[in-house]
Amino acid sequence: MLQPQRLAVLGVLVLLMSLGGRTNALDINRQQTLKEKLAQSITTPPDVVQFAKDKKYEEAWIIKSSAARPSPEECKKYVEKETFKVLIVEYVWNSEEDDKRFVLTLFQDQRVKMRNPEQFVKTAIDLFYKEPDFLTLMNTLDREVIGKPYLLQSPIDAVSIGIFNYWFSTGPIDPLWKAGDKYSEDTIQEKIIARPDIQKTRLNFQGLFFKFNVDGRYDGPYYGIKTPCCKKDGNFWVVDFPTTFRWMRFMLSVS
């Protein structure tokens, strides 16, 4: 027969093992954040960074990772070239691969900590040339530009689709979906088919744009993520509905 002291020790060990198993189960069952889920799909550093003023994407300053790093003088010249209200930075991952291309669009509006445009451009370029992974880039922008944990922490407000760097000159389909709408792939397909100039184009690739903090109800900037949604067919980019629906379901957590 076990002595009372040994029974007590055995009971403590059983309790600790039980708690450990429960903790492991909680870790396994913890739902991944959208940021963590996207990091599994975005596994390389961005290969393009670009800046636009007041949504004039057609006039964007496009910098490829293969190009020489812009000098501080070039950054200053870009910022001072003309007056503007809002500066926008966009990081592009896998820019030449339609099925793997993602774009982060971040507005330097009144709700970011870093209000100096020249500093904003320099910081964005510094980060780009460090070749960070997705989580590092997002967390660095949170810390240095926005001033707190923020990106991909609030619900998606709306989704639109348009042509990259011809977004407003052609006019996006907006909204393709918005918060409160029932998720209907038939409705989404009908909206896209009704815009043949967006559905098929020679201009540039299409982006499926998931928008956050559109109305400013959260204490942070307006931003969004563009996901894959098209494929190249000869000289045209064509919206690919299976890809579009897959990323709609992924981003909106629709089963």
The domain spans of the chain are 36-252
Joined tokens for residue 165? 């760097």
Does 133 have pLDDT greater than 60? yes
Does 29 have pLDDT greater than 80? no
Does 11 have pLDDT greater than 70? no
At 187-223, the pLDDT tens digits run 999 999 999 999 999 999 999 999 999 999 999 999 9
pLDDT at site 31:
84
Q: Global pTM?
A: 0.89
At 66-108, the pLDDT tens digits run 999 999 999 999 999 999 999 999 999 999 999 999 999 999 9
Joined tokens for residue 232? 């190249």
Q: 75 or 15, which is more confident?
A: 75
pLDDT at site 23:
44
Find the distance separating the first CA and the last CA of the chain, reported in whole Å.
56
